[in-house]
Amino acid sequence: MPETKTAPAVPSDHIMAVYRRTPLGFVRGEGARLFGTDGETYLDCLAGIAVNALGHSHPKLVKVLKEQGEKLWHVSNIFTIPEQEALATFLSQVTFAEETFFTNSGAEAIECAIKAARKYHWANGQPERVDIIGFEGSFHGRTLAAVNASGNQDYLEGFGPPMPGFVHLPYGDLDALRAAVGPTTAAILLEPVQGEGGARSWPVEGLTEIRKLCDETGTLLVYDEIQCGLGRTGKLFAYEWAENAEPDIMTIAKALGGGFPVGACLTTAKAGKGMTVGSHGSTYGGNPLAMAVGLASMEELVKPELLDHVVQLNGYFNQQLSGLRERYPDVVEEIRGKGLLIGIKLKTPNREFMQHARDNQLLIAGGGDNCVRLLPPLVLTVEEASEAVAKLEASCEAARALLPEKTGA
């Protein structure tokens, strides 16, 4: 009989070497706390990269998962799935969407959005409209179409020729966008607040202008709200900070399942009109287990008191982190982002800073442009927020201690 092995303390050689993994694991989570295999308790301010919006082991999600787990996990989309109808109906009540396609991940929701946008124009007798205009610093996932949509050279290199039909412009540049939209443009794809790119937000008035531009040119407006959506910025969706800026198509995922893999591509009836029987599909997407958890998660995320709490915490963090920037101008360059998608742009290496934070039992995410990101569960308490700030201060102190000494200081 083979001997039973316990999990190794060091990262295994048998996992594809695509992740830079810290030799730290967890055995249990509760709210914003994670209990490490090292016996330490961590304050989780990355929440599985904006996934565990309701914290770990949320009682309602655990209950629904258990109940559905004992009833029915999976059938097939060749059958009617009442749980799926329920979540799609709920989404149509709280968003612009009239139709939803369910996926298992964010990247798959992006795939569906790109296909839907191109198929829309094809169905309209304009098959030449295939170009997707995206923006520098964006992140739309890791499938081939998603990395092409993001345009990040680091993620494209070595994977063959770049796909045609993807254009990239500087983020926030409305003039460049106006100049770029033309007869072959299918859609504009953007994150109202960039996540991986380093918590940069598109100026809100700009979104209203983009909506107008799309209406004038028959271009579809696609928001990727996979990270910034679902309450993260203090509105249910980040674009709601702007007036009259509704999209035609929107992708969501991450917080939608609260940790259960589920994503969705939402469309208006008009924008979804090209997606007819046979156009698209997924084996797992929208299965009863995922849908039950997704609905329970959505019911919590739409609560006005939760959104108010996010706005309140944002005010607290902004004030405290500005103070930190003033006290550590040699470490902290800029505070940015929206709601609880907060970016701290550093002058010292961000990976080192993440380690300092871990040394203080605080978990934070990295980000582009030498940022670290705070993406705590939306249910973080004010006390926990203040604890996070104290740990960030200790991390700034540790980062400063590593700086070369200044002459005359």
- Considering the complex, state which of residue 107 and residue 295 has its C-beta at the smaller distance from ligand PLP: 107
Distance separating alpha carbons of residues 314 and 342, to the nearest angstrom:
8
Tokens for 67, please give them: 């109940």
Q: How far lies 102's CA from each of 85, 109, 396, in Å?
A: 11, 7, 42
User: How far is Cα 31 from Cα 58, in angstroms, rounded to an integer?
Assistant: 7
HSE at residue 6, side-chain half, CA atoms within 13 A, is: 3
Smallest gap from residue 167 Cβ to ligand PLP (A): 18
Catalog residues that contact ligand PLP under the rule CB under 6 A.
105-107, 110, 139-141, 191, 195-196, 224, 226-227, 253-254
Among residues 195 and 288, whose Cβ is nearest to ligand PLP? Answer: 195
φ, ψ for residue 364, nearest 5 deg? -135, 165
Which C-beta is closer to ligand PLP: that of 61 or that of 189? Answer: 189
CB of residue 106 vs ligand PLP: minimum separation in angstroms?
2
- Whichever of 223 and 317 has its CB closer to ligand PLP, that residue is 223
Minimum distance, C-beta of residue 10 to ligand PLP, in the bound complex (Å): 25
224 labelled catalytic: yes
Cβ closest to ligand PLP, residue 191 vs residue 248: 191
What residues contact residue 143 under an 8 Å CB cut-off, 6+ apart?
107, 108, 110, 111
**R_g of the chain computed on alpha carbons:** 22
| Three-state DSSP class for residue 138 | coil
- Find the shortest distance in angstroms from Cβ 256 to ligand PLP: 10
CB closest to ligand PLP, residue no:
106
Beta pairing, strands 332-338 & 263-267 = unpaired
**Catalytic-labelled residue, pool 119, 235, 254, 345:** 254
| CA angle 39–43–46, rounded 5-degree value | 120
Instruction: Report the C-alpha gap between 213 and 72 in whole angstroms.
Output: 46
Q: Among all chains, which residue has been given the structure tokens 């830079």?
A: 20
Name the residue type at position 145.
A
What are the tokens at 142?
Answer: 């890791």
CB nearer to ligand PLP: pick between 106 and 272 = 106
Catalytic annotation, pick one of 224, 237, 248, 391: 224
Strand order in the sheet with 166-169: 99-103, 263-267, 249-252, 220-224, 185-190, 131-135, 166-169
Distance, in Å, from the CA atom of 189 to the CA atom of 222, rounded to the nearest integer, reads 5
Beta bridge partners of 374: 342
Angle between helices 288-301 and 59-71 (to 10 degrees): 160
Active site includes 359?
no
Minimum distance between the CB of residue 179 and ligand PLP, rounded to whole angstroms? 25
How far, in Å, CA of 205 to CA of 182, rounded? 22
User: CB-wise, 68 or 105, nearer to ligand PLP?
Assistant: 105
Minimum CB separation of residue 404 from ligand PLP in Å reads 35
CB closer to ligand PLP, 185 vs 227: 227
CB of residue 93 vs ligand PLP: minimum separation in angstroms? 24
The minimum distance between CB 283 and ligand PLP, in angstroms, equals: 16
Q: Which of 101, 139, 166, 237 is catalytic?
A: 139
CA-wise closest residue to 376 among 57, 106, 51: 51
Q: What angle do CA 32, 324, 335 make, to 5 degrees?
A: 75
Of 357, 359, 304, whose CA–CA distance to 331 is shortest?
357
**Which sequence positions are flagged as catalytic?**
139, 224, 254
